[in-house]
Amino acid sequence: MFKLYYAPTSPFVRKVMITAWCLGINDQIEMLESAAHPIQRDARIARFNPLAKIPAFQTVDGQFLYDSRVICEYLNAYAQGGLFPVAGNARWTSLTRQALGDGLLDAALLARYERTVRPEEKQWAGWVDAQLQKVSAALDEIEKYAEEFSRIPDDIGLITLGCALGYLDFRFADLVWRNHHPLTAAWFAEFDQHPAMVKTRPVA
């Protein structure tokens, strides 16, 4: 069995699990509970990842892998899947979409940590605003291409974007991002109903 340190609310863990589900190998992963936190280090996770961040993964032969980008590509190679195009413009487009989704998530997480982890008297509204501006810019970029997207999670770039939008719904409902991104909203409404997305929805 593979082993994965996880949290049910982590969008990066969700990305790994959607990848595994789409490849048909989700039942080969043992889920290990963790208490990942930006301040309080979980020594259990650090056994797999010295940064003590999730997802942290162990292969069957004992190799440790992190972060989600590496784990997802490993799983795709292991299962001989097609979630990572192998060459040409399709590969660079897919990886760039993955980077966009990961960047949106990084900014959203930094904004959330500022609001929920930093003591209230030390919180900086300007920092939150700057991170959410990145989120808005990423949404604008997604909107440019949303009509072209597949309606199923058959590509790591789209899986990552789907996880990013799902995380906004989960943690930033007040952004009401659909109001200004109708094409993205229409794409996500269908994409989000795929069984891999349904089965991995975050829970509080």
Q: Which CATH superfamily does the domain covering 2-78 fall into?
A: Glutaredoxin (3.40.30.10)
Give the pLDDT of the chain (204 residues) as one tens digit per residue.
999 999 999 999 999 999 999 999 999 999 999 999 999 999 999 999 999 999 999 999 999 999 999 999 999 999 999 999 999 999 999 999 999 999 999 999 999 999 999 999 999 999 999 999 999 999 999 999 999 999 999 999 999 999 999 999 999 999 999 999 999 999 999 999 999 999 999 987
The domains spanning 2-78 and 88-199 adopt the same CATH topology: no
The CATH label, of 1.20.1050.10, 3.40.50.1470, 3.40.50.11740, 3.30.420.40, for the domain at 88-199 is 1.20.1050.10
Domain boundaries, the chain: 2-78, 88-199
What's the one-letter identity of residue 142?
I
pTM of the predicted model, to two decimals?
0.96
Displacement of CA 112 from its chain's centroid (Å):
15
Sheet holding 64-65, edge to edge: 29-33, 2-6, 56-58, 64-65
For 70, other C-beta atoms within 10 Å of its C-beta total 13
182 CB-near residues (< 8 Å, 6+ apart): none
Report the Cα–Cα distance between both ends of the chain, in Å, rounded: 27
